[in-house]
Amino acid sequence: MAAASALLARLNDRERRLVTSLLVLLAAALLWTGVIEPLSLHRQKMTGRIDRLTTDLGPMLELEQKIAQLRRQGSKTASATLGEGVSLFSLVSEAASGSVATESVASINPGHQRGAGGQEDDTVELKIESATLPALLDLLGRLESAAPAVYLRRLELRRSYGDRENFDMTVVAAATARP
């Protein structure tokens, strides 16, 4: 600081004002690019995310009502196949939404595969990214108790890249298709 004061003392008044003005402009530019602009961009992203989540809330509430209605109608079954009106996709989706954050669900893909006995099985591949281990265990517990006919075909669990506390998981749930 003393060296800067000595440098300014050697300059005449006009040069001192010019150097001081340039330093103030430089500080303002650094403050803008380093603090104000990133905060503003973050706020815009969060506002957009809130808008998207608010838009998604209506359909989610409708789905919640439909699920509750299906439960009241006795959609749970103890048979070896999924009962009439019960979708493996909806069971897996409901288990995922009750266990992990919505942002963690990377994809849910329905499909069909031939089982070991040659029968056609409904399958759902669920990919989860960056979720805690307790949340993943809760998800597996929900899948296990969803219906007796639901079983896991494949389970992959690995640590999230760049986040040592969370895990990524891929699970393929299957159920024997109705005859």
Query: What's 148's domain CATH number?
Result: 3.30.70.60
Which tens digits make up the pLDDT trace of 102-128? 899 999 999 888 766 677 788 999 999
**pLDDT at 160 exceeding the cut of 70:** yes
Of the three residues 55, 73, 91, the one that is the final residue of a domain is 73
Q: How many CB atoms lie within 10 A of CB 20?
A: 12
CA 12 to chain centre: 61
Comparison of pLDDT for 9 and 127, the residue scoring more: 127
Write down the pLDDT at residue 125. Answer: 94
**pLDDT at 133 exceeding the cut of 50:** yes
pLDDT average, residue stretch 49-77: 76
Write down the pLDDT at residue 82. Answer: 64
Cα–Cα distance measured from residue 31 to residue 37, given in angstroms and rounded to the nearest whole number: 9
Write down the pLDDT at residue 84. Answer: 64
Partnered with residue 163 across adjacent β-strands are: 160
Write down the pLDDT at residue 164. Answer: 77
**Same domain (yes/no): 8, 34:** yes
**pLDDT at 41 exceeding the cut of 90:** yes
pLDDT average, residue stretch 57-71: 79
**Same domain (yes/no): 165, 81:** yes
Q: What are phi and psi of 100, to 5 degrees?
A: -120, 160
Q: Residue 124 sits in which domain range?
A: 76-176
**Same domain (yes/no): 86, 59:** no
**Same domain (yes/no): 125, 162:** yes
Cβ(77)–Cβ(83) below 8 Å: yes
| Mean pLDDT value across the chain | 83
**pLDDT at 79 exceeding the cut of 70:** no
**Same domain (yes/no): 61, 82:** no
Comparison of pLDDT for 159 and 25, the residue scoring more: 25
Contacts of 168 (CB under 8 A, 6+ apart): 127, 128, 129, 130, 131, 157, 158, 159, 160, 161
Comparison of pLDDT for 6 and 115, the residue scoring more: 6
**Same domain (yes/no): 139, 87:** yes
